[in-house]
């Protein structure tokens, strides 16, 4: 992967409903150098989602074809759907920008195997499971069955916190955002000083 030496690849992983999407948007709004890596998925679009902006929505056959062509840096099956990060997408962004990844622990593990990448891995979680349940219900994007599936997956996701460089508890969105900003500044500064 051709990476500009000064750019970082920031991974934000979390159980569904922990505030990751809102925080990703806030990072992009304040730090223009960050571009989000738009993933491919076989899941159906939600009402407010746009193809090519939120995801590239593809069917299972197309996804399988992309796997066979080795078009992904990583991919995973999550809640019965496939999600993957295309090499084409990442390779074009990294030359000029920092990249923000909204991917799960399986994808993070796969990206970690590319030793030449400057990955910064953040695991975000809520204070407890009850809080997560409230958020999932409030955002009203999932059926009650899906909410239960996502809550069950929390128990598994949380086991992987140790694979990350930072673990943040999102009790308050603004506080959490400030913590992420500190991480970005620290990581970018460390990088610059190591290049001098
Ligand atoms: P959602 O269906 O709620 O948009 O996403 C479900 C999960 O898929 C989230 O945890 C999200 O981080 C993860 N995800 C989204 N895109 C990718 C990807 O390209 N690769 C992997 N491994 N996970 C992804």
**Secondary structure of 30-66 in the HEC alphabet?**
HCCCEEECCCEECCCCCCCCCECCCEEECCHHHHHHH
Tens digits of residue pLDDT in 36-69: 999 999 999 998 999 999 999 999 999 999 999 9
Measure the CA–CA gap between 191 and 103, rounded to whole angstroms.
Answer: 23
Q: Are 23 and 180 in contact (CB under 8 A)?
A: yes
Tens digits of residue pLDDT in 142-159: 788 888 888 888 888 889
Question: What is the mean pLDDT of the segment spanning 158-168?
Answer: 94
Residue located nearest, by CA, to atom 21 of ligand 1: 103
Residue located nearest, by CA, to atom 19 of ligand 1: 84
Q: What are phi and psi of 4, to 5 degrees?
A: -65, 135
Q: How far is the CA of 10 from the centre of ligand 1 (A)?
A: 15
Does ligand 1 have an atom closer than 6 angstroms to the CB of 102? yes
Residue located nearest, by CA, to atom 23 of ligand 1: 103
Q: Are 111 and 74 in contact (CB under 8 A)?
A: yes
pLDDT at 127: 79
Does ligand 1 have an atom closer than 6 angstroms to the CB of 74? yes
Measure the CA–CA gap between 188 and 7, rounded to whole angstroms.
Answer: 8
Does ligand 1 have an atom closer than 6 angstroms to the CB of 16? yes
Whether the per-residue pLDDT at 119 is higher than 80: the answer is: yes
Does ligand 1 have an atom closer than 6 angstroms to the CB of 7? no
Does ligand 1 have an atom closer than 6 angstroms to the CB of 154? no
């Amino acid at each position: 992967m051709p990476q500009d030496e000064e750019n970082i690849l920031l991974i934000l992983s979390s159980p569904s409903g922990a505030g990751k999407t809102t925080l990703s948007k806030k990072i992009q709004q304040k730090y223009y150098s960050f571009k989000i890596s738009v993933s491919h998925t076989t899941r159906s679009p939600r009402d407010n989602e746009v193809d090519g902006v939120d995801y590239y929505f593809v069917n299972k056959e197309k996804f399988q074809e992309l796997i066979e062509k080795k078009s992904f840096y990583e991919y995973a099956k999550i809640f019965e759907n496939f999600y993957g990060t295309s090499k084409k997408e990442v390779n074009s962004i990294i030359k000029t920008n920092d990249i923000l990844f909204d991917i799960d622990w399986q994808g993070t593990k796969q990206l970690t195997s590319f030793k030449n990448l400057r990955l910064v891995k953040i695991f975000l979680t809520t204070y407890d499971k009850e809080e997560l349940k409230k958020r999932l219900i409030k955002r009203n994007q999932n059926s009650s069955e899906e909410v239960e599936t996502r809550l069950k997956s929390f128990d598994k996701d949380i086991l992987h916190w140790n694979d990350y460089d930072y673990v943040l508890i999102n009790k308050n969105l603004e506080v959490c955002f400030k913590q992420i900003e500190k991480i970005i500044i620290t990581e970018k500064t460390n990088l610059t000083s190591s290049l001098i």
